[in-house]
Amino acid sequence: MMFSFILSPVAYGALRGLRNLTFTLALPFSVSSMAYAEPVTVFALGDSLTAGYGLPEGEGLVPQLNAWLDGQGADVTVLNGGVSGDTSAGGLSRLAWSLTPEVDALIVTLGGNDLLRGLQPTVTRANIEAILTEAQTRQLPVLLIGMAAPGNFGPEYKQAFDRLYPELARQYGAQLVDSYFGLIDPDATDPGQISHYMQADGIHPNAAGVKRAVESLGPQILTLVEQLD
């Protein structure tokens, strides 16, 4: 699957605390008005599913998600931190310099390329756990989007891989989406079941598939940023 200023945690925490203090008296978030104390920035850390591989500009996940949020009147911007071909290790390696001071929350969509490379679930778990630990240190709420292993790796591999996402979400208090492809169809467990929403490679969603994913993911983003109140 072809699934981009470093600040110390102490300095980051001080800056974030100042921002929170500055806006203590601002109006709270409400679903009806979509009013926020300040513009919210969400960083989407992921692979080609986040990057928008194979799609025209404006039809990938992040542009469609930003358009959906704008249509809801939400002052929320999602930054595209997707790198095609990235593994969980690649996402971890660029996390620290990706989380610039304006980032308020994090989306993590990694693991698909780990599966394609047959990496052990323990490796993927360790990398994603390190990402969640860093986010926790920076007091960033996280939306973790899982992946489901295919059955051809064997039942033990699948069980170990599939359970790492819910277990880590519980451990670190992250908001969880069980499966990326479940955003397109909640009954889907692999891309083959939603082929009409996929590109010719059978791995990446087409624009219509992304649209369905966004319709499911958008409300999850609003729930995520409510944690910033």
196 is catalytic: no
Distance CA 209, CA 207 (A): 5
Q: Which candidate in 30, 33, 93, 201 is catalytic?
A: 201
78: phi then psi, degrees, rounded to nearest 5: -100, 125
Of the candidates 47, 88, 114, 204, the residue annotated as catalytic is: 204
Strand order in the sheet with 40-46: 76-82, 40-46, 105-109, 142-145, 175-177
Phi then psi dihedrals of residue 186, to 5 deg: -60, -15
- Residue from 47, 48, 88, 114 carrying the catalytic annotation: 48
Q: Note if 48 is an active site residue.
A: yes
Contacts of 167 (CB under 8 A, 6+ apart): none
The alpha carbon of residue 147 and the mean position of all alpha carbons in its chain are separated, in whole angstroms, by: 12
Q: Is 201 part of the annotated catalytic residue set?
A: yes
Active site amino acids: 48, 201, 204
